[in-house]
Amino acid sequence: MSLQARLYLLLLGLGVLAIAINMARTKRLRESYALLWLLVGAGLTISPFIADHLDQWALRLGFPYAPSLLLMLAIIGLLLIIFLLSISISRNSEQIKTLIQEIGLLRHEIQRLQGQIAGQETPRPPAHEPPHALPSDEPRDPA
């Protein structure tokens, strides 16, 4: 690998590290995700120093063409990041669903209470309502 190419890689790695650290510092990136990007940055930063060994490793692992090993590692890394994001989206969807349901139930409760306060005939409350259950008495969201 030429000196120039190594320099590019090093700069790219340092850039990723700097951005990830800054985003985490300013709380625009959660620590858990920042960690992921720090790993990517670290990998890029050290890669120019280990590039010479790459050919040997690639051959040993059965890759006659070293860059294809690099490409494979990059793809695996990207897939891993996407996978983690999918997991996080699934968890978020579940949490958002719960929030929407709670908002609906609370809206209903507010309207009922407003009606009571106004002393108007409101949609009839259930016959013998239990003392008001607060969300805390429910099973916690496992997420």
92 contributes a contact to another protein by CB under 8 A = no
Cβ proximity of 90 and 82 under 8 Å: no
> In the numeric block, which tokens belong to residue 89?
């989206």
53 contributes a contact to another protein by CB under 8 A = no
28 contributes a contact to another protein by CB under 8 A = no
27 contributes a contact to another protein by CB under 8 A = no
Q: Which of 105, 113, 114, 116 binds another protein (CB under 8 A)?
A: 105
In whole angstroms, the minimum distance from the beta carbon of 20 to another protein comes to 33
**Cα separation of 37 and 48, whole Å?**
18
Given CA atoms 23, 26, 27, 28 in this order, what sign does their dihedral have?
negative
**Alpha-carbon separation of residue 130 from 43, 79, 110, 125, 141 (angstroms):** 58, 50, 16, 11, 23
Place of tokens 């120093």: 49
Q: Which of 107, 113, 114, 116 binds another protein (CB under 8 A)?
A: 107
In whole angstroms, the minimum distance from the beta carbon of 127 to another protein comes to 7
> In the numeric block, which tokens belong to residue 64?
């006659």
In whole angstroms, the minimum distance from the beta carbon of 88 to another protein comes to 17
Place of tokens 């496992």: 142
103 contributes a contact to another protein by CB under 8 A = yes
Q: Which of 97, 113, 114, 116 binds another protein (CB under 8 A)?
A: 97
Rg over CA atoms, the chain: 27
Site for another protein in 112-141 (CB under 8 A): 123-124, 126-130, 133, 138-139
> In the complex, which residues of this chain contact another protein (CB under 8 A)?
93, 97, 100-101, 103-105, 107-108, 111, 123-124, 126-130, 133, 138-139, 142
